[in-house]
């Protein structure tokens, strides 16, 4: 059976999507441009989100002490032996990558795009960090490059966002996604499944809420407790303070989530992997590709697929 996304895989996967739009493999390379976050520098708060330690995001080849050009070269050297990629997307990942003056942002982005093998940008940020001036500039870049803005939404429940010290509400996320999509820029969102206080029903309601938004991509992350985060410190003092999913339980949750999700949304990931030295729990031991294979297997076992229960 071929699904609405044009192939027989049971979810609308990111790698197939990239091959479809670029007609070849294109690889993301993470870049740390040295930005910070309004939830850390005092403009919105201090200490950051309770789940966050940004050291968990950066691969070994990625360091703000290196120039963006050097980071891209190191990233290409890292990926070239593994994949037959000729072109790359510079993924500005750590902290809020639209949070600076427009002049600084232009300088950082243009340095990445000056590399002959970089054909686009992926900008990870918060919904309260994208101005109209920046959107206008990204529209211009998008005429000649592939530009994506990824928003950390994390939850659709304002009570949860307050608990994790997020510093913005869900409505600001909806507004940012809609404005970015209306500008003709590709837009993605991140959600964390299993945040404190959220029931299984709450989490599945995220799928319904997200499905009505003009999203191109979605990333799911299991809640991970990491060293250097407030949530990690609280868990070490009181392990019963946070409900953590076992891997098989989380796989069932992901499949249930997919059934309710708009089939036009490309699934970029289901899990994240923090460095072993920083990860406190849960320790499943599966690599990303292994987890995806388990989701594939469970979708087949249940004879279901992304969007089967979606009512658009």
> What is the domain count for the chain?
1
How many residues are present in the chain? 312
Q: How far apart are CA 76 and CA 85, in angstroms?
A: 9
Gap between the terminal Cα atoms of the chain: 21
Residue 222 lies in a domain: yes
Count Cα atoms within 13 angstroms, Cβ side, for 160: 19
Contacts of 298 (CB under 8 A, 6+ apart): 251, 252, 255
Predicted TM-score of the model (pTM): 0.93
- Other CB atoms closer than 10 Å to residue 179's CB: what's the count? 17
Residue 5 lies in a domain: no
Residue 147 lies in a domain: yes
Contacts of 197 (CB under 8 A, 6+ apart): 159, 160, 163
Residue 100: CATH number of its domain: 3.20.20.70
pLDDT in tens, 237-283: 998 888 899 999 999 999 999 999 999 999 999 999 888 889 999 99
Q: How far apart are CA 223 and CA 288, in angstroms?
A: 15
pLDDT for position 42: 66
User: What angle, 0 to 180 degrees and rounded to 10, lies between the N-to-C axes of helices 132-142 and 102-113?
Assistant: 20
pLDDT in tens, 33-51: 988 888 777 677 677 787 8
Residue 7 lies in a domain: no
Residue 162 lies in a domain: yes
Rg of the chain on CA atoms, in Å: 19
Residue 42 lies in a domain: yes
- The b/e string for 68-78 (b: 16+ C-beta within 10 A; e otherwise) is beebbbbbbeb
Q: Which domain holds residue 94?
A: 14-301
Residue 310 lies in a domain: no
Report residues of the chain scoring pLDDT below 70.
Answer: 42, 45, 54-62, 85
* Tokens 């900008």 belong to residue: 123
Residue 2 lies in a domain: no
Q: How far apart are CA 123 and CA 32, in angstroms?
A: 11
How does DSSP classify residue 28? E
């Amino acid at each position: 059976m071929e699904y609405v996304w044009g192939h027989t895989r049971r979810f609308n996967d990111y790698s197939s999507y990239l091959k479809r739009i670029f007609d070849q493999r294109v690889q993301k390379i993470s870049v740390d441009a040295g930005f910070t976050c309004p939830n850390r520098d005092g403009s919105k708060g201090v200490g950051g989100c309770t789940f966050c330690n940004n050291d968990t995001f950066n691969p070994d080849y990625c360091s703000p002490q290196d120039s963006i050009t050097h980071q891209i070269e190191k990233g290409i050297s890292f990926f070239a032996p593994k994949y037959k990629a000729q072109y790359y997307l510079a993924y500005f990942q750590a902290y809020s990558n639209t949070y600076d003056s427009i002049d600084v942002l232009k300088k950082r982005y243009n340095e990445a795009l000056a590399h002959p093998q970089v054909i686009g940008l992926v900008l990870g940020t918060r919904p309260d960090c994208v101005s109209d001036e920046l959107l206008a500039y990204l529209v211009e870049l998008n005429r000649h490059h592939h530009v994506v803005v990824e928003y950390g939404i994390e939850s659709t429940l304002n009570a949860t966002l307050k608990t994790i010290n997020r510093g913005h509400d869900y409505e600001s996320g909806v507004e940012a996604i809609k404005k970015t999509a209306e500008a003709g820029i590709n837009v993605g969102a991140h959600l964390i499944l299993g945040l404190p206080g959220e029931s299984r029903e709450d989490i599945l309601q995220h799928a319904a809420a997200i499905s009505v938004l003009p999203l191109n991509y979605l990333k799911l992350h299991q809640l991970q407790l990491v060293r250097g985060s407030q949530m990690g410190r609280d868990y070490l003092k009181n392990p019963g303070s946070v409900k953590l999913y076992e891997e098989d339980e989380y796989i069932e949750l992901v499949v249930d989530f997919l059934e309710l999700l708009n089939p036009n949304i490309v699934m970029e990931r289901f899990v994240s992997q923090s460095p072993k030295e920083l990860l406190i729990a849960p320790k499943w031991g599966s690599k990303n590709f292994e987890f995806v294979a388990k989701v594939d297997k469970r979708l087949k076992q249940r004879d279901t697929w992304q969007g089967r229960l979606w009512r658009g």
